Chain A
């Protein structure tokens, strides 16, 4: 869920800083006035609200879709995905059963990985495999780490009974501190553009 901001925010901020925009901007951009304290607060920093990502309309049909997941399972083998990713556990390619998503877990992000490939060995399938099949594959891949799919595992070959993917997994629930954390994630560092407003000082999360 962080994946959009690391690409967009730093570029946006960088442009703003380089071009000398500051206090007069129509958006509350940070300035470089010497008296200002603190650091630039981007969405990568916990406690700054969450993104407004909505579900890609192309993906909508693939949520709660048992047929798509099972088609994806068949294609996963037919297109040799299993050659690298095994039954989800990985090998030549990364593990798809864990909760680590190098290039994002959202359905359209997985789809994008399939279309464009990735630089460390993932081939690009866009234009070679029909797009609806790439969506079927994406939804199967997303299913492999669902607790329902993992719970259905009965032996040492997982991912044989993939659960449909509920849309909730891609709906941004915002950031919350990890359970039992002792850090005070609720405070917000004072922003650099003028005196802090009460909202900024207390944070929203």
Chain B
């Protein structure tokens, strides 16, 4: 071994390190004007875009759920921090999470207490905001099974908990949903839902409404049989579970199912759109955002990618993956489904956020759901029927040539279809999408969506893969690369009415944090190299930045403290799929590592190290 070590030291490090791949040329990308489509021309005069009061009640200054409100606007109506004074923002206190893995959660603020759940081992901390330095009130260690780390596809992350009715409710990596008493930190109930031996883990943030807790599983890379479930908030008892694939009875498709498009109409499509038995290991986890619509009493469930990634092993539309269900919250019964990526070939999960707004379209106000998909399109969907009103690219796209609004289906680009044993180059967007799970915000003051996203593409070669329970079921050798221009990230302020960006800021690394926008017209977000930034919501101008201990991939929030002042909170702690090269540790010499992400992130270790700290900022007062 010493011999080997000495010999290794003779090989210059430069030979072993990967160089950054060249960006995809601009001329390989389709123009937004050419592939963006809408059912009607913009009619901004028909009204002002805003969430309904049922989904976004008046702001009480708390931040009790990751999405801020059911509309998922992540808009804070607090006005103390403004474009003019944000340059004076100072750290107020910080708190070590004692876990150096990717921190994706939103700090939750309720009743003058802040709650944070960490990446695995999913420790929950409650901090007393009424006292100087916000001392710890309690912490709770759920001790998830260590083996669950082996079925987490993309770092051992957790996207946060939510406070409701005196409970902090969150998921653990090993597949439990747990409610703890906010006063004591003691668990009131814990329900085991996932089975790691089948590749199931849980990383998403639960949605709580009407006394029910909605959760889903992760494991689209492990051949899971994906599901969303509802639990009784007071007991943790399972009320219903709707699978993403299989016969209608398991998917909870019944007489109420009225999908808008023909491709979703038919019996047991969750079986017949797969090779025999393949639906049983077809993925379709609900690991991202599940949104409750208080106005229409509907649950919108984003469904993840089909498995395996090698598309030739699963001919068919692979219902009901890479799309979205509208379900009855009480029974799970499906109202409609829309498939963003039928027979997904590029790992374009459909789990990203759903933002519920009233928006002018075709001369009248419509109840829409805005979804910014991995496949590169901003979808504006009429959410009572599931009709796509418009779909426009917000990042580099060449895997599809637009969305056909008659059929609802993407127009596939045959040049970018993935193949067994053949490397298809420069596919845009990359597998993690033009944007991954990290949520956008919406300001009713500016009418703009603040989309934190990626500018990345990939080379892809499909490989044969066998299903072995509890192991990955992927079948692809992927190498990611920067998109046109070479900057890997972008913050785009998107006008959903005009269907185009108002402005865009570039970032060296992909943006893997969410955004929050305030009534002071300030947008906050974090970068993977550890800058927490504030920009002008109307122009994108950088107003303030602060360097934290590690890269940021979490969800910033804005709240009113017990002293009446406005605070901004965010977790540092780089990791996740894009940051695995730091938090893994994953070897920067293997471009295919971390599902091909390392190829485009091999320089991250030069910019940041693993960490995990809560930071809270305010103006001097």
Q: A residues near B, CB below 8 A?
A: 1, 77-80, 83-84, 86-95, 97-99, 105, 119-123, 145-147, 150-151, 153, 155-159, 168-170, 172-174, 176
Most buried by A among B5, B479, B599: B5
Q: Known contacts being A121-B148, A150-B8, is A80 close to B473, with CB within 8 Å?
A: yes
**A95→B602 CA distance, assembly (Å):** 14
User: Do A89 and B592 touch (CB < 8 A)?
Assistant: yes
A-B contact pairs, 17 of them (CB 8 A): A86-B594, A89-B593, A89-B598, A90-B590, A92-B472, A95-B584, A97-B589, A120-B147, A121-B146, A121-B150, A147-B11, A150-B589, A156-B590, A156-B591, A157-B479, A169-B1, A169-B3
**A149→B189 CA distance, assembly (Å):** 52
| Contact partners of A173 in chain B: CB under 8 A | 1-3
Which of these binds chain A: B110-118, B406-414, B460-468?
B460-468
User: Do B590 and A89 touch (CB < 8 A)?
Assistant: yes
Chain B nearest Cβ from A140, distance in angstroms = 15
User: Do A123 and B471 touch (CB < 8 A)?
Assistant: yes
**A147→B10 CA distance, assembly (Å):** 9
3 pairs of A and B residues whose beta carbons are closest in the complex: A121-B150, A89-B590, A83-B472
User: Do B594 and A80 touch (CB < 8 A)?
Assistant: no
**A143→B128 CA distance, assembly (Å):** 53
Q: How many residues of B contact A (CB 8 A)?
A: 49
Chain A nearest Cβ from B472, distance in angstroms = 3
**A68→B7 CA distance, assembly (Å):** 23
User: Do A123 and B470 touch (CB < 8 A)?
Assistant: yes
**A159→B474 CA distance, assembly (Å):** 19
Chain A nearest Cβ from B203, distance in angstroms = 13
User: Do B151 and A121 touch (CB < 8 A)?
Assistant: yes
**A92→B466 CA distance, assembly (Å):** 17
- Which residue from chain B places its CB closest to the CB of A146 in the assembled complex? B4
Among A78, A88, A105, A169, point to the contact of B590 (Cβ < 8 A): A88
B372 contacts the other chain (CB 8 A): no
User: Do B590 and A97 touch (CB < 8 A)?
Assistant: yes
Among B147, B479, B587, point to the contact of A95 (Cβ < 8 A): B587
B477 contacts the other chain (CB 8 A): yes
| Contact partners of A156 in chain B: CB under 8 A | 18, 21, 479, 590-592, 599
User: Do A91 and B150 touch (CB < 8 A)?
Assistant: no
User: Do A176 and B2 touch (CB < 8 A)?
Assistant: yes
Chain A nearest Cβ from B592, distance in angstroms = 5
- Which residue from chain B places its CB closest to the CB of A106 in the assembled complex? B1
B586 contacts the other chain (CB 8 A): yes
| Contact partners of B471 in chain A: CB under 8 A | 79-80, 83-84, 123
**A119→B2 CA distance, assembly (Å):** 28
Among A90, A105, A122, A153, point to the contact of B585 (Cβ < 8 A): A90
User: Do A89 and B589 touch (CB < 8 A)?
Assistant: yes
| Contact partners of A89 in chain B: CB under 8 A | 586-594, 598
Chain B nearest Cβ from A130, distance in angstroms = 15
Given contacts A91-B580, A95-B585, 7 further A-B pairs with CB under 8 A are A80-B471, A89-B586, A89-B590, A95-B587, A120-B149, A158-B589, A173-B3
**A122→B3 CA distance, assembly (Å):** 28
**A176→B154 CA distance, assembly (Å):** 38
| Contact partners of B472 in chain A: CB under 8 A | 80, 83-84, 92
| Contact partners of B593 in chain A: CB under 8 A | 86-91, 95
**A102→B479 CA distance, assembly (Å):** 27
Q: Known contacts being A120-B146, A169-B1, is A80 close to B468, with CB within 8 Å?
A: yes
B322 contacts the other chain (CB 8 A): no
| Contact partners of A80 in chain B: CB under 8 A | 465-466, 468, 471-473
**A121→B7 CA distance, assembly (Å):** 31
Chain B nearest Cβ from A146, distance in angstroms = 6
User: Do B590 and A158 touch (CB < 8 A)?
Assistant: yes
Among A1, A146, A150, point to the contact of B16 (Cβ < 8 A): A150
User: Do A121 and B147 touch (CB < 8 A)?
Assistant: yes
B595 contacts the other chain (CB 8 A): yes
User: Do B584 and A91 touch (CB < 8 A)?
Assistant: yes
| Contact partners of B588 in chain A: CB under 8 A | 89
- Which residue from chain A places its CB closest to the CB of B149 in the assembled complex? A121
| Contact partners of B251 in chain A: CB under 8 A | none
Chain A nearest Cβ from B310, distance in angstroms = 12
Chain A nearest Cβ from B81, distance in angstroms = 39
| Contact partners of B595 in chain A: CB under 8 A | 86, 91
Most buried by A among B4, B594, B598: B4
User: Do A90 and B149 touch (CB < 8 A)?
Assistant: no
| Contact partners of A123 in chain B: CB under 8 A | 150, 470-471
Chain A nearest Cβ from B157, distance in angstroms = 12
B152 contacts the other chain (CB 8 A): yes
* Interface residue ranges of B562-608 to A (CB < 8 Å): 580, 584-595, 598-599
Most buried by B among A86, A145, A174: A86
| Contact partners of B204 in chain A: CB under 8 A | none
User: Do A91 and B594 touch (CB < 8 A)?
Assistant: yes
User: Do B7 and A147 touch (CB < 8 A)?
Assistant: yes
- Which residue from chain B places its CB closest to the CB of A158 in the assembled complex? B590
User: Do A99 and B587 touch (CB < 8 A)?
Assistant: no
**A91→B327 CA distance, assembly (Å):** 35
| Contact partners of A78 in chain B: CB under 8 A | 466
B293 contacts the other chain (CB 8 A): no
B221 contacts the other chain (CB 8 A): yes
**A77→B474 CA distance, assembly (Å):** 11
**A99→B21 CA distance, assembly (Å):** 26
Interface string of B487-528 (1 = CB under 8 A from A): 000000000000000000000000000000000000000000
User: Do B8 and A147 touch (CB < 8 A)?
Assistant: yes
**A99→B2 CA distance, assembly (Å):** 11
Q: Known contacts being A84-B471, A98-B587, is A120 close to B150, with CB within 8 Å?
A: yes
